[in-house]
Amino acid sequence: MRALLKSFSGPERLLLALFVLSLPFVNPTVHGDGVGYYAYVRSLLIDGDLRFENEYLAGNAAFVLRRTDEQGRLRPDTYTNTGYVFNNHSVGPSLLWAPFLVLTHGVVRGANALEADIPPDGFSWPYLWTMALTTAGYGFAALWMAFRLARRYVAERWALLATLGIWFGSSLPVYMYFNPAWAHAHSAFTVTVFLWYWQRTRELRTLRQWALLGLLGGLMVNVYYPTGVLLLLPLLDALGGYWSAWRPRPDLRQVARQFGTHLIFLLVLVVALLPTLITRQILFGHPLRTGYADAQLWNWTRPVLWEVLFSAHHGLLSWTPVLLPAIVGLWWLRKKDRWLGNALGAVFLAYYYVIAAYLHWHGMSSFGNRFFVSLTPLFVLGLAATLERVAGWFAEPRRAFAVQAGALALLVVWNAGLIFQWGTRMIPAREPVVWSEVARNQVTAVPARLLETVRSYLFARDALMEQIEAHDLPPQPPEADSQRRPE
């Protein structure tokens, strides 16, 4: 282990140390959308089926209340026409959790053979801690790989600052620590792996490498459907290859060879997507039916481009302003690698358009615009490019580093306060915020409540989560409330 640590650079050791120190903030809970994501692995591991009644009824109170009748049974409209519980959440996160949870299940059963008395039900503490720590690990792996990719183009100090800025200044920490059963940290990981391998093999990709890229692309889409936009990268590669083979004089052999490799890529991609296609067939009766609104119902001709970025209702830049220099940096990245900058810029714009056309573009219960957490590696690369570009405006490198580190620190502090407000429901989780109220809370309420709330989170988390959960419960009519009040 010591030899391994010595092989890391100073910034890499710092990142690893910060990750270890952050682990006490991991929240081992299955909440909200996380119920749907976790249901696959829990049901298959414990029950051996995809019947999700147990998983849904074991969800958090607000989740269960919205899906059950007065007798506490799942309502008929919770079921699909195939007789299965409606679950439009992707199976991919469960695929990533599965190896670790299978191991945990074996350990629990072995411990129970020694009279440990741990419920082997997928909900007891070993399973939830395994799930949560694995999610945090995937989130950190995304950051680690994004840092290593960024330092190929900029000085290591700017890659480090950019990684820290995105890590603690974006929406990522909410879904890496607080809501670990959601898909966003997993999506950041699979996008980063896909981007890293695409970039590594970009110059001359063999047949085997095209096949592996298809496998990674399938895993990426299994985890989070909108990340299929990243498949633009190999598409652009393919089009560029055909153009080179056709100009100035057509080379039909080369075109045929390229077509063969691209066909292999597509075949492997489809095979890799089988977990999604099979579960969609079982749950909805068709392999391409996701459970989300049909594509023709989306706002393709009237995308809410401004609102996605600047709305008080989870706007990307209004909630997480560190992403503004990160997005601008994709342009500066072109100075380092024109093709890379253009390709990543095209990916961001396409992804932005897709989210802006989505009916629920604001993410409903979301910190910032959670859909963009998937683009974490793009933001690290873009922010790193901006930091290096701005550093050139200073006469002294040390002053450039100090000023930019200070600016990022302010954005991180703001983001931490906003996460605190959102997590404790000082501001609404599902509605637009009032920025004057947010700013006032940052100065008054957050400092006053921070230490006590952090202490409760670390040492009395169950009670704190119950308080937070109470804010999420839908209002009950007076007669229902009186019926539940003890006589």
Classify residue 184 as exposed, middle or buried by CB count within 10 Å of its CB (0-12, 13-18, 19+): buried
The pTM of this model reads 0.94
Strand partners, 74: 68
Strand partners, 85: 79
d(CA 217, CA 222): 9
Q: Are 418 and 442 in contact (CB under 8 A)?
A: yes
Residue found by looking up tokens 């983001």 in the block = 415
Q: Are 299 and 353 in contact (CB under 8 A)?
A: no
Checking 196-199 for CB contacts under 8 A at 24+ apart, the result is 196/145, 196/149, 196/377, 198/233, 198/234, 198/237, 199/149, 199/340
d(CA 411, CA 298): 34
| CA pseudo-torsion sign 138, 139, 141, 146 | positive
The DSSP 8-state label assigned to residue 66 in this structure reads T
The token duo for 381 is 């690369």
The token duo for 29 is 């809970």
* pLDDT in the model for residue 486: 30
Does residue 79 sit in helix, strand or coil? Answer: strand
Phi/psi of residue 85, nearest 5 degrees: -65, 135
- Pure H helices in 174-322: 184-200, 207-223, 232-246, 252-272, 274-284, 305-310, 316-319
Strand partners, 68: 74
Phi/psi of residue 74, nearest 5 degrees: -60, 135
> Given phi > 0 = left and psi -120 to 50 = alpha, else beta, which region is 182?
beta
* pLDDT in the model for residue 115: 87
What would the DSSP string read from start to end of 241-253? Answer: HHHHHHSSS--HH
Buried b (16+ CB within 10 A) or exposed e, 360-396: ebbbebbbbbbbbbbbbbbbbbbbbbbbbbbbeeeee
Classify residue 170 as exposed, middle or buried by CB count within 10 Å of its CB (0-12, 13-18, 19+): buried
* pLDDT in the model for residue 294: 76
The token duo for 172 is 């990522």
Of 34, 30, 37, 22, the closest CA to residue 129 belongs to 30
Amino acid at the residue 75 = R
The token duo for 3 is 């030899």
Buried b (16+ CB within 10 A) or exposed e, 438-461: beebbeebbeebeeebeebbeeee
What would the DSSP string read from start to end of 404-427? Answer: HHHHHHHHHHHHHHHHHHHHTTSS
d(CA 92, CA 225): 10
Of 210, 330, 301, 334, the closest CA to residue 260 belongs to 210
pLDDT tens track, the chain, 487 positions: 677 777 788 899 999 999 999 999 999 999 999 999 999 999 999 999 999 999 999 999 889 999 999 999 999 999 999 999 999 999 999 999 999 999 999 999 999 999 899 999 999 999 999 999 999 999 999 999 999 999 999 999 999 999 999 999 999 999 999 999 999 999 999 999 999 999 999 988 899 999 999 999 999 999 999 999 999 999 999 888 878 877 777 778 888 888 899 999 999 999 999 999 999 999 999 999 988 877 778 899 999 999 999 999 999 999 999 999 999 999 999 999 999 999 999 999 999 999 999 999 999 999 999 999 999 999 999 999 999 999 999 988 899 999 999 999 999 999 999 999 999 999 999 899 999 999 999 999 999 999 999 999 999 998 998 888 887 776 654 443 333 333 2
Q: Residues for the chain: how many in total?
A: 487
What would the DSSP string read from start to end of 163-177? Answer: HHHHHHHSSHHIIII
* pLDDT in the model for residue 481: 37
Amino acid at the residue 373 = V
Amino acid at the residue 22 = S
The token duo for 69 is 């009748």
Residues near 86 by Cβ (< 8 Å), separated by ≥ 6?
78, 79, 80, 283, 291
Q: Are 39 and 52 in contact (CB under 8 A)?
A: yes
d(CA 355, CA 368): 13
Q: Are 313 and 431 in contact (CB under 8 A)?
A: yes
